[in-house]
Homo-oligomer: A and B are copies of this chain.
Amino acid sequence: MASRTPSNGHPLKKSKAKRRAASKADTSEPKRVYSWGPAVCEGHAGMGDLLGGKGANMAEMCRLGLPVPPGFTITTEVSIEFLKDGGAFPPGLEPEVARALAQLEQSLDKRFGDAEDPLLVSVRSGARVSMPGMMDTVLNLGLNDRTVEGLAKKSQNRRFAFDAYRRFVQMYGDVVLNVRPADGEDECPFHHALEAKKRARGVEQDTDLTATDLEQLVAEFKTIVRSHTGTEFPQDPVQQLWGAIAAVFRSWNNERAVAYRQMNRIPTAWGTAVSVVAMVYGNLGEDSGTGVAFTRDPSSGEKRFYGEYLPNAQGEDVVAGVRTPLAIEHLERTQPKAWRELLRIQKLLERHYRDMQDLEFTIQEGQLFMLQCRAGKRTGFAAVRIAVDLVKERRISPKEALLRVEPEALEQLLRPVFDRAQLEAARRAGRRLTRGLNAGPGAATGRIAFTPLEAVRRAKAGEPVVLVRIETSPEDIRGMQAAVGILTARGGMTSHAALVARQMGRVCVAGAGALEIETAQKRLRVGSHTLVEGDWISIDGNSGEVYAGQIATQPSEVLASLLADKPAPDPSPIVAAYHQLLAWADRERRMDVRTNADQGDQAATAVALGAEGIGLCRTEHMFFGERKIDAVREMILAEDAAARAAALAKLLPLQRADFAAIFKAMTGFPVTVRSLDPPLHEFLPHEPAQVAELADTLGVSLERLTAKIHSLAETNPMLGHRGCRLGISYPEITRTQARALFEAAIDVLEETGRAPTPEIMIPLVATARELELQVELVHAEAKAVFAARGRSVPYLVGTMIELPRAALVANRIAEHADFFSFGTNDLTQTTYGISRDDAGKFIPLYVEQEIFESDPFVSLDTDGVGRLLEIACEGGRATRPDLKLGICGEHGGDPRSIDFCERMGLDYVSCSPFRVPIARLAAAQATLRRAAAGS
């Protein structure tokens, strides 16, 4: 019937279509509608991009011969066209839908709008990836004042028919016709009318209303629609259908959906498909019902069929939580035939898709219908265990298993957890307050502080603190640092609190909207609970749950196993699965994974977590010890090179001891040590009292000290007198650091018989000459120390590439470098011209407005910063083909950035100790992906 060439419509559309046609060799329109059913099945599971997950999987289940109601899917491409053109359907869509609808009618032998036996459909959204509950759906479409009678007659259940109709009017009114709650109200007018009816009838449950009640309610609902929209509720089923399709398309851009996409980095350009599915009914009586199930436990990963079932209900009732569902095992007794069928199907689907599945089904008068299947969402624990179990079951290969686990999910396995018994007790005692977004994994318990200042004060007094804020701002940083956990009432997964908490490794629950925080009154109310400053509170950053009172935390099982001196004889399934998965990862990955650590104990932890060396040891972090800081300050205040040398002489043995501790913890691994980097004023106090105290300690006048502090102050310290600029201005600093390092290396060699392999790294190089001058100093010290001690160790000297200029002239810098390490934190700051300290003011807005796809300080900006990396790699290798290349910015622990590093062919990534396992898995995935891409 319908042709594939543009037919009718708006003149502008025509000319646009013509233009498009003219620019294509093939003038045919793309196929826009795909049907499935007993006669035809046009889609399959591999077409998720075009049909959405829901549409593709319905088609696939149909192909597998499973019981699915027939239907058809309008492609994601149509939604993009629709939204681009301001809400106009592309020409040619209408006849295609009409044809699919006719096919549907034929397969069920029912007619849309038939007064005797009407076809009813659901209109469902479905994007490429699952966005649960974010977009809209309309059920029971096709009902009107005439067809409802037909449904009543055919089902012999008038109450059912009018219940379906009042549900449809309510849903359609809400989703399509925008009948929303009045200002200041939470509930829509339909809800009020329903409640009024129940009060009038003296009943509690919706199910207690009679057919007559519902018939009256339908009339009232239609009146509500008329008064809100000024028109009658549409009676034409075809008009209803197009209205619902348009509304589902529009719901791609509703607030929730946009926020969810940002959080999950889903491109707006993907769009959503719409599936039109013949209705089946779970609310036809006690032998009907609806349920959701997982082929394995989505929380622990255990291999057991797991789910919930609600008799005599439609899907929306499960979601709304009006009635408490039953455990799925209940079906075994009440619906043995459907139960056996369901067990068969869940096994078949998991085997077919080779992954844990999330299923939706309806039982209509004893007959099972599958309404959805998709890869099930799962916790990090479950992801690891399921992937490893599927290998054991020979369903997937180890390589596939590696690609199945989001690297970030491993964090859950390593962060502290609540003591199970105490958590259960808290739940039983009704201490669960609310649930927010799981913005920073782990569990934390502490006393409430409502201001950053209070958080710092309590932390100093030795108390664990949970900082509770309406939302956080950049001024809260010190308080966030002082807290063990952060809880906010506002803000999403990319809010300031969430971003900073994850960066700092703090437990965080964000956007817990039920909290009423009264900062001035130092009071927090939620439901019937009131908590005040100093009260205990506990937050679970894995689940987003918030509890009143204290709940003890403990290291996770996995972490405990890693830090144990020897492996447990009988590890738990999750511990065993973790070790197995990471062993596979280590076998597959090409890049080494190092850690950023400054102290011996940090280094030892990192090794336990799988680090293969240190990629960044910040020597200045060693400077803040009690004795050291005095010597450092003396050095800074020295008036000439001789006085500076004297102060440095005091520092030398202290720094040597620090280096020795790190070398010992890292035996057999390379250790990259960066020479002094931060501007000197960071080592001086700024509070008047502390300045006076320091003047006293150093025996200098307060005036001179103040003047010195003043003269060291900088307008833009990030771009100031720091990095190798210090080593150029005060070569004795570089010399002393190099000497301490080489002496420590020889000490450790003599003590252990094994030579450490230091790699000395010069920071903030912008020109080849800077590096050349600093490298000369390092070599001279090495020569002197080796000569004096009569022994030597192998070592490298290289540089951080952390300024755009360094990347641009990398070919020349490589003349003096054994290695490059990309300092992508500073490189991102300078490439974008954004100070991380100050960016809190606009980065959330930038992410929201899609100016940034994601925060470039979290995930490497491959277009800009990445291009500089590419230029630097090319330039460096052109000069020196064997140049060692690594990354030590925080991106070194970010999976997407690690993937980019693999594509650049870097030798290693380096990240904070607790991200080492994540990086190991991400590196393995990157290797596998690169191999698959054939590069």
Give chain A's interface residues, CB within 8 Å of chain B. Answer: 473, 475, 711, 714-721, 725, 728-729, 764, 766-767, 769-770, 773, 802-805, 808-809, 812, 826, 829-835, 837-838, 841-842, 845-846, 849-852, 861, 863-865, 867-868
If A809-B863, A833-B826, A845-B729 touch, whether A838 touches B716 (CB-CB below 8 Å) is yes
- Asked if B728 and A841 make an inter-chain contact with CB atoms under 8 angstroms apart, the answer reads no
- Asked if A832 and B803 make an inter-chain contact with CB atoms under 8 angstroms apart, the answer reads yes
A724–chain B nearest beta-carbon distance, Å: 10
- Asked if A832 and B720 make an inter-chain contact with CB atoms under 8 angstroms apart, the answer reads no
Within the assembled complex, what's the spacing in Å between the Cα atoms of A804 and B830? 8
A900–chain B nearest beta-carbon distance, Å: 15
Known pairs A725-B842, A805-B833, A812-B863. 17 more at Cβ < 8 A?
Answer: A714-B837, A715-B835, A715-B837, A716-B718, A718-B833, A721-B838, A728-B849, A729-B842, A767-B851, A769-B850, A803-B833, A804-B868, A805-B864, A808-B831, A808-B867, A826-B833, A830-B831
Residue of B nearest to A865 (CB): B805
- Asked if B716 and A719 make an inter-chain contact with CB atoms under 8 angstroms apart, the answer reads yes
In the bound complex, residues from chain B placing their C-beta under 8 Å from that of A473 are 711
- Asked if A829 and B719 make an inter-chain contact with CB atoms under 8 angstroms apart, the answer reads yes
In the bound complex, residues from chain B placing their C-beta under 8 Å from that of A834 are 719, 766
In the bound complex, residues from chain B placing their C-beta under 8 Å from that of A835 are 714-716, 718-720
Query: Can you list 28 A-B contacts with CB-CB less than 8 angstroms, sorted by A residue number?
Result: A475-B711, A714-B835, A714-B838, A715-B838, A716-B718, A716-B719, A716-B838, A718-B833, A718-B835, A719-B834, A719-B835, A720-B841, A721-B841, A728-B851, A729-B842, A729-B845, A802-B833, A803-B831, A804-B830, A804-B831, A805-B833, A805-B865, A808-B831, A808-B863, A808-B868, A812-B863, A830-B831, A830-B833
In the bound complex, residues from chain B placing their C-beta under 8 Å from that of A865 are 805
Residue of B nearest to A772 (CB): B851
Within the assembled complex, what's the spacing in Å between the Cα atoms of A472 and B850? 47
Per assembly, the copies of the chain total 2
Within the assembled complex, what's the spacing in Å between the Cα atoms of A832 and B867? 17
- Asked if A851 and B769 make an inter-chain contact with CB atoms under 8 angstroms apart, the answer reads yes
Within the assembled complex, what's the spacing in Å between the Cα atoms of A829 and B830? 9
- Asked if B766 and A864 make an inter-chain contact with CB atoms under 8 angstroms apart, the answer reads yes
Residue of B nearest to A841 (CB): B721
Within the assembled complex, what's the spacing in Å between the Cα atoms of A833 and B473? 27
Which of A729, A804, A867 is the most central at the interface, judged by chain B CB atoms within 10 Å of its CB?
A: A804
- Asked if A838 and B719 make an inter-chain contact with CB atoms under 8 angstroms apart, the answer reads yes
* A-B CB proximity, top 9 nearest: A719-B835, A716-B835, A805-B864, A715-B837, A804-B804, A720-B838, A803-B833, A714-B838, A716-B718
Within the assembled complex, what's the spacing in Å between the Cα atoms of A721 and B831? 15
A871–chain B nearest beta-carbon distance, Å: 9
Residue of B nearest to A769 (CB): B851
Within the assembled complex, what's the spacing in Å between the Cα atoms of A835 and B713? 13
A307–chain B nearest beta-carbon distance, Å: 43
Residue of B nearest to A726 (CB): B842
Within the assembled complex, what's the spacing in Å between the Cα atoms of A829 and B833? 9
- Asked if B864 and A804 make an inter-chain contact with CB atoms under 8 angstroms apart, the answer reads yes
A195–chain B nearest beta-carbon distance, Å: 37
- Asked if B719 and A809 make an inter-chain contact with CB atoms under 8 angstroms apart, the answer reads no
In the bound complex, residues from chain B placing their C-beta under 8 Å from that of A812 are 863
Which of A805, A849, A850, A852 is the most central at the interface, judged by chain B CB atoms within 10 Å of its CB?
A: A805
In the bound complex, residues from chain B placing their C-beta under 8 Å from that of A868 are 804, 808
A686–chain B nearest beta-carbon distance, Å: 13
Within the assembled complex, what's the spacing in Å between the Cα atoms of A852 and B768? 10
If A716-B719, A716-B837, A718-B716 touch, whether A832 touches B851 (CB-CB below 8 Å) is no
Q: Which of B804, B833, B867 is the one whose CB lies under 8 Å from A766?
A: B833
Which of A717, A773, A832, A868 is the most central at the interface, judged by chain B CB atoms within 10 Å of its CB?
A: A832
Within the assembled complex, what's the spacing in Å between the Cα atoms of A849 and B721? 16
- Asked if B729 and A805 make an inter-chain contact with CB atoms under 8 angstroms apart, the answer reads no
In the bound complex, residues from chain B placing their C-beta under 8 Å from that of A802 are 833
In the bound complex, residues from chain B placing their C-beta under 8 Å from that of A833 are 718-719, 764, 766, 802-805, 826, 830
Within the assembled complex, what's the spacing in Å between the Cα atoms of A725 and B849? 12
If A764-B833, A851-B728, A864-B808 touch, whether A718 touches B719 (CB-CB below 8 Å) is yes
Within the assembled complex, what's the spacing in Å between the Cα atoms of A845 and B829? 26
In the bound complex, residues from chain B placing their C-beta under 8 Å from that of A764 are 833
Within the assembled complex, what's the spacing in Å between the Cα atoms of A742 and B590? 59
Within the assembled complex, what's the spacing in Å between the Cα atoms of A196 and B353? 109
In the bound complex, residues from chain B placing their C-beta under 8 Å from that of A842 are 721, 725, 728-729
Within the assembled complex, what's the spacing in Å between the Cα atoms of A473 and B711? 10
Which of A803, A830, A849 is the most central at the interface, judged by chain B CB atoms within 10 Å of its CB?
A: A830
A491–chain B nearest beta-carbon distance, Å: 17
A248–chain B nearest beta-carbon distance, Å: 27
Within the assembled complex, what's the spacing in Å between the Cα atoms of A729 and B473? 16
- Asked if A773 and B805 make an inter-chain contact with CB atoms under 8 angstroms apart, the answer reads no
Residue of B nearest to A861 (CB): B805
In the bound complex, residues from chain B placing their C-beta under 8 Å from that of A716 are 716-719, 835, 837-838
